[in-house]
Amino acid sequence: MIPFDRRTGKIWYDGALVEWADATLHVLSHGLHYASSIFEGIRIYGGEPFMLTEHIARLRSSAHILDFDLPYDDAVLHAATLDVVRTAAITEGYIRMNAWRGSEVIQTAALKTSVHASVAAWELPEGYYAATDALEKGISLVTGRYARPSPRYAPVKSKAAGNYMIGTVSKNEALRAGFDDAVLLDDRGNFVEATGAHLFFTKDGALHTPTTRCTIDGITRACVLALADREGIACTVGDLAPAFAAEADGAFLCGTACEILPVARIDDHHYDLTGNKVVRQLITGYRDLVEGRRVVDVPNIWAR
């Protein structure tokens, strides 16, 4: 795979399309040293960014939580994203939208820094985010050693770069231990999510998912909840202790990158994927949704 700093094409950077190699920032940028940086990941299906309005709304919400404002309005960011996708002629791909504080000061106080923004996109090869047989065989999760912090202690509702270091360390350790990903607990010892995707369980034909008290409100998660409601699948949102993994008869992750990905194992608990009709029904429903064959009402809770 070509490293991202050696690719070619165009990136929208602070209001204009620039050459890929020219979309750089200084090593003394505040966003690098103090994690005053936010992002969104957006999938492209059939040449169109999926849930773009919602992603831009969440980016703006993330900026406000980190105490800065985006220098461009939603219409500009929307047009910029479409321009990047169409310039690159991408049919199936991924978009990364970023905003960060500049390099005017290197100290924790950052009121006098500028704010920058970028939009990049690239094509996705088949199986980029999961093994090609993962939909059939499922993936394995191990409980990570770090917990998601309480909303009292960190800006957990911002899709901030700094919030993902727990995920990076936890997934690295999971891979070294022979698992595919880690599942994270919260400050009270309950399930939260995987390192970059939300967690759902199935039990007796119904869904169970943790609250988002300690994490961002997922856009794909909202789609799954809307699909379940339309399909008449009951869903309980609440605190789920680790013991629930043994009570459940199935599990899956959901997120922009992984879409809906079945889980075959959590620690020592194994799930039989062959007879789990709920997971298969949601995988089909989500595929229909992203490809425009199905419409569900997903409230834009991020535009507040």
Convert the pLDDT of each residue in 17-34 to its tens digit.
999 999 999 999 999 999
Q: Please report the sign of the dihedral spanned by the C-alpha atoms of residue 277, residue 280, residue 285, residue 286.
A: positive
Tell me what the mean pLDDT of segment 184-199 comes to. Answer: 98
The pTM score is: 0.96
Name the fold adopted by 134-290.
D-amino Acid Aminotransferase; Chain A, domain 2 (3.20.10)
Confidence of residue 303 (pLDDT cuts 50, 70, 90): confident
Question: What is the rounded CA–CA span in Å between residue 106 and residue 122?
Answer: 32
SS (H, E, C) 125-193: CCCCCCCCCHHHHCEEEEEEEEECCCCCCCCCCCCEHHHHHHHHHHHHHHHHCCCCEEEEECCCCCEEE
Q: Assign 26 to helix, strand or coil.
A: coil
* H or E element at residue 277: helix 277-290
Tell me what pLDDT residue 300 has.
87
Q: What is the pLDDT of residues 192-233, one digit of tens each?
A: 999 999 999 999 999 999 999 999 999 999 999 999 999 999
Beta bridge partners of 12: 17, 119
Mark 229-253 as b/e (b = at least 16 C-beta within 10 Å).
eeeebeeeeeebeeebbeebebbbb
Q: Is the dihedral of CA 187, 191, 192, 195 positive or negative?
A: positive
Residues of CATH 3.30.470.10 domain(s) within the chain? 8-123
pLDDT at 206: 98
Radius of gyration of the chain (CA): 19
> Which sequence positions are flagged as catalytic?
159
User: Does residue 295 surpass a pLDDT of 90?
Assistant: no
Question: Residue 125 has what pLDDT?
Answer: 73
CATH of domain 8-123: 3.30.470.10
Around Cβ 16, how many Cβ atoms within 10 Å?
A: 10
**Is pLDDT at 63 greater than 90 in this prediction?**
yes
Query: pLDDT-derived band of residue 127, with 50, 70 and 90 as boundaries?
Result: low
Give the pLDDT confidence of 67-108 residue by residue, as tens digits. Answer: 999 999 999 999 999 999 999 999 999 999 999 999 999 999
- pLDDT score of 130 more than 70: no
Residue indicated by tokens 């985006």: 70
**Residues carrying CATH 3.20.10.10, the chain:** 134-290
Q: For residue 128, what pLDDT is reported?
A: 55
Query: Which of helix, strand or coil describes residue 296?
Result: coil
When pLDDT is averaged across residues 142-164 and rounded to a whole number, the result is 97
Q: Which amino acid is at 87?
A: T
Q: What distance in Å separates the CA atoms of residue 217 and residue 277, rounded to the nearest whole number? A: 26
Across the chain, what does the average pLDDT equal?
Answer: 95
Closest Cα to residue 148, out of 167, 173, 171? Answer: 167
**% of the chain with per-residue pLDDT over 70:** 97
Min mean pLDDT across 36-45, 123-132, 243-252 is at 123-132
